[in-house]
Structure 1
Amino acid sequence: MPRLVDHEVRRREITSAVKRVVIRRGLEAVTFQSVAAEAGISVRLVQYYFGTKREFLLATHRSVMEDAGNRFTKQLSTLGDDVSPRSAVCAILMQLLPLDAVRREEAVVLGAFAAAAITGQGISAEETLAAPRALVSIVESQLTRAGATTPHLDAELILAAAGGIAQGMVQGHYTDQAGVELIDHLLDRVV
Structure 2
Amino acid sequence: MRDENLVGCRVCGAPLATAVRGRPPVYCSRSCQAKAYRRRAGARGRPAAAPPAAAEPAAHAEGRSRRRRQIAEAVWKIAAERGLEAASMREVAAGAGVSLRVVQYHFGSKHGLLVSALHLLHEENDRRARARMAALDDPEDLRAVLGAVLNEFLPLDEQRRGALRVFVAYYVRSLTDPALAEVFLHASQPVEQLVAGLIRQAGAAPGTDPGREADLLVSGVTGLGMDVLHGRRTLADVRTTLDYHLDRILPAH
TM beyond 0.5 = yes
Matched, 1:171 2:230: yes
**Backbone CA RMSD of aligned residues:** 2.1
Deviation at 1:122, TM superposition (A): 5.0
1:22–1:181 CA distance, 2 compared to 1 (3 A): same
- Structure 1: runs of 5+ lacking an equivalent: none
Matched, 1:151 2:210: yes
Residue in 2 aligned with 1:6? 63
Inter-partner Cα distance in structure 1 for 2:170 and 2:73: 15
Matched, 1:115 2:198: no
1:32-85 per-residue CA deviation (whole Å, 9 max, x = no partner) reads 1100110111000000001011111111111221121112212222234521x2
Which of 75, 84, 87 is the matching residue for 1:18? Answer: 75
Residue in 2 aligned with 1:105? 162
Amino acid at match of 1:151: P
- How high is the TM-score relative to the length of structure 1? 0.89
Inter-partner Cα distance in structure 2 for 1:53 and 1:41: 15
Contact preservation (8 Å) 1:169, 1:175 = yes
Which of 136, 142, 146 is the matching residue for 2:192? Answer: 136
Which of 121, 129, 150 is the matching residue for 1:72? Answer: 129
Inter-partner Cα distance in structure 2 for 1:59 and 1:37: 18
Deviation at 1:132, TM superposition (A): 7.7
* Partner SS, residue 178 of structure 1: helix
Contact preservation (8 Å) 1:65, 1:131 = no
Contact preservation (8 Å) 1:136, 1:152 = yes
Inter-partner Cα distance in structure 2 for 1:118 and 1:144: 33
Q: Which runs of 4+ in 1 moved over 4 A?
A: none
Inter-partner Cα distance in structure 2 for 1:65 and 1:151: 24
Inter-partner Cα distance in structure 2 for 1:88 and 1:132: 21
- Number of residue-to-residue matches in the alignment: 187
Higher helix proportion: 1
Amino acid at match of 2:184: T
* Partner SS, residue 123 of structure 1: helix
Equivalence map 1:36-47=2 (5 Å): 36-47=93-104
Matched, 1:82 2:140: yes
Inter-partner Cα distance in structure 1 for 2:79 and 2:68: 17
Contact preservation (8 Å) 2:139, 2:145 = no
- How high is the TM-score relative to the length of structure 2? 0.69
Amino acid at match of 2:165: V
Amino acid at match of 1:144: R
1:131–1:182 CA distance, 2 compared to 1 (3 A): farther
Amino acid at match of 2:65: E
Matched, 1:53 2:110: yes
Inter-partner Cα distance in structure 1 for 2:215 and 2:239: 19
Deviation at 1:131, TM superposition (A): 9.8
Amino acid at match of 1:163: T
Contact preservation (8 Å) 2:133, 2:139 = no
